[in-house]
Amino acid sequence: MKRKTIVITGCSSGFGRITSLTLAKQNWLVFATVRKDADREQLLSAARESSCENNLRVLLCDITNAEQVTAMARQVEDLLSAENAEAATPHSPGLNALLNNAGTAFGGPIELLSIADLRAQLELNVIAQVAVTQALLPLLKAAQGTLINVSSVGGRISTPMVGAYSASKYALEAISDALRIELAPFDVHVVLIEPTASPTNIWQTSLDRALPDMESHRTGPYARLLTVIEKVARRSSRSGFPSQLFADTVVKILATPKPRARYVVPRSAVLQIALKQLLPDSLWDYLVRRTLKW
């Protein structure tokens, strides 16, 4: 029996890593992308420990590099053709799912954020997502597959210090809404996952990246906000919902014939989104400022 197939980007840690292993253990053929050889070896080692290494192909790809994205798509197509030949399937290769998971966060007040960092934020979280999608869409269309884009609750709610990150996720939401309708005639489902804070590396990495540039402002007008946000970021990097819940949500989406357009993880975060939509902006701003003591 031919295995279901999926490409997952950003599998060196966090959501991508746990989802790739979860699906591989469920006999999906997983093409997991990482940027570094060391990350590749660590993921393969984890797969061996879980006895699912035969279902995992780890591909090196920096998704902000156009040539590497093209090469990755060709490699996936070749591997799918080999899989079809082994399963004696006469059809042209198709890809059952793509999980655009790779991403990063640049923190800091917009006034102090460098334009280079803003460009890097949008390049990875928006432009690269589109590049990967375009490269793999022919394979997804061939299998009438599912495209899952990882947004965030921050793609619906923008708060101080993460404005650039939220901007990238707002953009990804807009692109996904357009794609969902554009690809409907091809029977390709487009789904957004909107997670809230989880103990992944993204927030600690964001904090470590931002703080050195912000040190000179510790005594400036943003001093209090920087202190509060630093505490929030460190807490987010240690707590939040279990990453396995994200992987389980992906499994649920892939098992659903007609998935919803959006899945908020955990479900309790729906209340936060609803509150933002219902309250007047002035009241919402007041509550955020009060929470942050700003």
| Catalytically annotated residues | 165
Say whether 99 sits in a helix, a strand or coil: strand
Using alpha carbons, list the distances in angstroms from residue 201 to 5, 158, 283. Answer: 26, 20, 32
Please state the φ and ψ torsions of residue 264, each to the nearest 5 degrees: -90, 135
Taking only Cα atoms into account, the Rg of the chain, rounded to an integer number of angstroms, comes to: 20
CA distance 133 to 20: 18
193 within 8 A of 151, measured Cβ to Cβ = yes
DSSP letter string over 53-76?
GGGEEEEE--TT-HHHHHHHHHHH
Tokens at 116, concatenated: 């280079």
Please state the φ and ψ torsions of residue 7, each to the nearest 5 degrees: -105, 130
